[in-house]
Structure 1
Amino acid sequence: MFLTALLEKLYARRRFGIRPGVDRVSVLLSRLGNPEKQFRCIHVVGTNGKGSTSAFLSSILKCAGHRSAQFSSPHLVRFTERFRIDGVEYPADKLAP
């Protein structure tokens, strides 16, 4: 499967460990022209409760008739757990080309 091979390559590149913070993401978004400013989004950050807060927000938005997409990290069992559309895990075959 393409996704499995891709993840093996990505995980093999880990050399420097985890570096908390949003600096690298901020630089990347800036280099990409800040695409996140083209749509409404909510960033949930902090030490604890991000998963629960994101799930609550997704549920509230769905009840109000809106669609939502979620990305979370790290995953517990499967890489695809990181991606949710309207609260439903996105299938692996849709993530890979």
Structure 2
Amino acid sequence: MIIQPLYDAPQHAEQVTDWLWQAFGPAQPRDFFASIVNHSQKPGALPLTFIATEGEKLLGTVGLWRCDLISRQDLFPWLAALYIDE
């Protein structure tokens, strides 16, 4: 298994977006999660998305976000959106 930033394997961005939307976003539009994934494509900036792969198979994802709780913006980064495929 290899864990790497999504910006090193951007071909997985659409799948990561779908996973996040399906797992965490029934009340949020898919575009919300697409925006997070798109903005996580810059090295050294938050948000940052990591993926786990085995060969070409995508296994899971997790992110470091600037804010995951509006009332506690003083705490960052947040480990957020952990998803592991079945």
Higher strand fraction: Structure 1 or Structure 2? 2
Larger Rg: 1
Higher helix fraction: Structure 1 or Structure 2? 1
TM over 0.5: no
* TM-score (normalised: structure 2): 0.31
Which has the bigger relative contact order, CA under 8 A and spacing at least 6? 2
* TM-score (normalised: structure 1): 0.29
